Amino acid sequence: DSMTAVLFLDLDNFKRVNDTEGHKGGDELLIKMVERINHRLREQDTLARIGGDEFVILVELVKSKNNIENLCEALLETISKEFIINGRPQYVSSSIGIALYPQDGITPDSLLSNADMAMYDAKNNGKNAYRFYHRKLEAHAREQMDIERELRKAINNQELEIYLQPKIGLDCNQILGAEVLMRWFTASGESIPPDLFIPIAESTGLIKKIGEFAISSAISLLEQWQLEGIAPLKLAVNLSIIEFQDEHFIDYIIESISNSSISGDQLIIELTESIFMENKEKMSKTMHKLKHYGVAFALDDFGKGYSSFSYLQLLPIDYLKIDKSFLQNVITDEQSAAIAKCIIDIGHNLDLAIIAEGIEDQETLDYVSKTHCEMAQGFFMYRPMPSDSFTKLIRKNSHAK
Ligand code: C2E
Ligand code: CA
Ligand code: CA
């Protein structure tokens, strides 16, 4: 007995090839890639292009799941090898979703859509991977779609609200500013955490609306405080790398600053290091464009994930935020303390100001003071709060002086 598999294959970073080599260059890469794929297929297999960089492969009469796994591995490997386009090397990777006949579907439509769903699962798991369809994916996909639909409504119905978490200067013990953190309170009073809705907003493009809302809310608060005569503070807004790579979004930030009464140096943009920062030259150019208006940059969650020191070298960063996972253990765990100390030293040697986040107790606060971090943020001092509460807090501090 043998089985039939439907493979849904999608390139992970084909857009970049089109952007740098033009559509002709992109087409050339696709042609070369198809040759490589065909080389791995047998006579009875069928390869079809069903979209720009989307392909479907019908693999008939396979003996075992293992054979399909081997094929997928071979495909991932051959596709990820260098392509020479216009004399320059280009690299792409691919994500493959697999649906099996008959267990995963008996109609062409259901097989295709289930293979597609599995392909998204591969993408969500870091790309350059293959995944088999399984039933749980469906429930997950439905949940994501529900959240997306609700989030779309939430943005229109103004269910999003910014919270502010104070940042304390460690040498002056004063509030120097705050980080803007997005909150979603549904009409039914439920609170949905950003860790849940931000990734969905990122994958659906809704993130730009959220970013615009964060930027415009931050600027109008700064203007309000300015009118009240409160000493200027800085607000830090989190932006996803997706927004940051969008020129319209960058223009939106610049226009918003230009049309306001605040000074651009009151804004800090927090970026999380990510694998998508691959085009560092372009990143750096965009950052310099904003720096021209005074905007500063913080590299968030440093030490977690990809942590490439080359970011520190190539990107015009002003602040380094040590990931809270290191700080939360500095008192009990010598290794975390060693890593934290190392990050602090590197930051200082590169003339960056260090922000210690996730401070939950006096001991950790003492540690970050002792190691000369510039700023601290955490539940121990203040939790994120509604902007009204923050305004009251800084009014009080202003009068106290
Ligand atoms: P983040 O940028 O690392 O933000 C810090 C997170 O740590 C916040 O979680 C904050 O509430 C939490 N936190 C602060 N002090 C402490 C502490 O002492 N202990 C602990 N355990 N946690 C602390 P939150 O607000 O749930 O946000 C989660 C993540 O969602 C943020 O991580 C950020 O990556 C993302 N996010 C939030 N708002 C936005 C936004 O407007 N745009 C984008 N793109 N991402 C956002
Ligand atoms: Ca942040
Ligand atoms: Ca962080």
Render pLDDT for 82-94 as a digit per residue (tens, 0 to 9).
999 999 999 999 9
Give residue 380's pLDDT.
97
Alpha-helical runs (H) found in 81-206: 108-124, 135-156, 194-204
Q: Are residue 296 and residue 394 in the same domain, yes or no? A: yes
Atom of ligand 1 nearest to the CA of 357: 15
Among residues 133, 163, 191, the one where a domain terminates is 133
Q: What is the 3-state secondary structure (H, E, C) of 336-398?
A: HHHHHHHHHHHHHHCCCEEEEECCCCHHHHHHHHHCCCCEEECCCCCCCEEHHHHHHHHHHHH
Beta strand 160-169 with 385-386 is antiparallel
Question: Span 234-254, mean pLDDT?
Answer: 94
- Nearest CA owner, ligand 1 atom 11: 384
Ligand 1: atom nearest CA of 323 is 3
Average pLDDT over residues 207-236: 96
What pLDDT score does 220 carry? 97
Cα(237) to centroid(ligand 2), Å: 7
Place of tokens 């990143």: 283
Residue 395 lies in a domain: yes
225 and 321 housed in the same domain: yes
The atom number, within ligand 1, closest to the CA of 214 reads 41
Same domain for 106 and 159, yes or no, is: no
Question: In terms of domains, do 168 and 99 share one?
Answer: no
380 Cα nearest atom in ligand 1: 18
Asked whether residue 139 is assigned to any structural domain, the reply reads: no
Provide mean pLDDT across the span 113-131.
Answer: 91
Are 230 and 371 found together in one domain? yes
Are 172 and 83 within one domain?
no
Same domain? For 309 and 241 the reply is yes
Domain interval for residue 52: 3-133
Domain end point (choices 133, 165, 186): 133
In a domain, 16, yes or no: yes
Residues 264 and 383 in one domain: yes
**Residue 373 pLDDT > 60, yes or no?**
yes
Q: Per-residue confidence at 204, pLDDT binned at 50, 70, 90?
A: confident
Question: Is a pLDDT exceeding 70 seen at residue 266?
Answer: yes
* Residue 275, pLDDT score: 60
pLDDT at 401 over 60: no
* Gap from CA of 270 to ligand 2 centroid (Å): 6
Nearest CA residue ID for atom 23, ligand 1: 358
- In the chain, the percentage of residues whose pLDDT exceeds 90 is 73
CATH, residue 250: 3.20.20.450
The whole model's pTM is what? 0.77
Question: In this structure, is residue 252 part of a structural domain?
Answer: yes
Residue nearest to atom 3 of ligand 1 (CA): 301
Contact in structure between 133 and 152 (CB atoms under 8 Å) = no
| Residue 139 pLDDT level (bands cut at 50, 70, 90) | confident
The domain boundary residue, chosen from 85, 103, 133: 133
302 inside domain: yes
Decide if 68 is inside a domain: yes
Residues 57, 177, single domain; the answer is no
Question: Residue 84 maps to which CATH number?
Answer: 3.30.70.270
For residue 97, pLDDT beyond 60? yes
Tell me how far the alpha carbon of residue 12 is from its chain's centroid. Answer: 15
Note whether residue 138 is domain-resident. Answer: no
pLDDT (0 to 100) of residue 400: 59
What pLDDT does 307 receive?
Answer: 63
Per the structure, the count of domains in the chain is: 2
Is the same domain home to 370 and 248?
yes
Claim to verify: residue 127 and residue 152 sit in the same structural domain? no
Q: Which ligand is nearest to the CA of 377?
A: 1
Tell me what the pLDDT averaged over the chain comes to: 92
Q: Is residue 31 part of a domain?
A: yes
Q: For residue range 189-203, list pLDDT tens digits in order.
A: 889 999 989 988 988
Q: What percent of the chain is predicted at pLDDT more than 70?
A: 97
pLDDT, tens digit, for every residue of 53-72?
999 999 999 999 999 999 99
Do residues 67 and 195 both lie within one domain?
A: no
